[in-house]
Amino acid sequence: MGIISIILIIIGLCLFEVVSSIDNAVINAEVLSTMSEKAKKWFLLYGILFAVFIVRGLLPWAIVWATNQSLGPIGALTATFSNDPHIIESIEYSTPILMLGGGVFLVFLFLHWLFIEDKHLGLATEEFFLKNGTWFYAVVSVILVGIVAVALKYNPVLALSAVIGSSAFFITDGFKKMLKKTKKS
């Protein structure tokens, strides 16, 4: 990997982190505005601990370990700091698995926004998608079947990854809907 590639990757990751942080701050500000002082302190303390240590610390380690079980838990941790060709090959093997699962999650998230979320952007197609919102479930089901069918030709673990990405979307969407429902009550 050349220096230009490394610089572009670092810039891309920094940009992604900044955009994600701003989006997260906006959402947190909205959530915090509806809470009591005690709940705000709890949310900030545990939210920051969870975001920093679990999501950005333990989760990547767990993913590397789960997709490269031959490394073991300690090997997955030290793999991040290693130049061993075997470890690099093992991690590169897991890249498509991680990318497919995350990609399915993000495609479903986009389609959910397109079909289900109420938007006021003034686009001509916006009303069409909102009127046909129930098609979201049919569209994502067909997409998932297609992805799994193609993935099975290459690697059954890829198919599992697609299903895990889909499951992660529906689990988080279900929690979001439940929280909205309890907030209205």
Tens of pLDDT along 73-117? 888 788 767 777 777 777 777 778 888 888 899 899 888 888 887
Which of 57, 62, 56, 68 lies closest to 96 in space, CA to CA?
Answer: 68
Q: What is the DSSP letter of 117?
A: S
What confidence tens digit (pLDDT) does each residue in 53-70 have? 777 777 777 777 777 777
Contact 144, 163 (CB under 8 A): yes
This prediction has a pTM of 0.65
Identify the pLDDT of residue 160. 92
Contact 111, 140 (CB under 8 A): yes
Dist CA 173 CA 182 (whole Å):
14
What confidence tens digit (pLDDT) does each residue in 135-161 have? 888 999 999 999 999 999 998 988 999
- What single letter denotes the amino acid at residue 98? L
**Residue written as token pair 């109420």:** 118
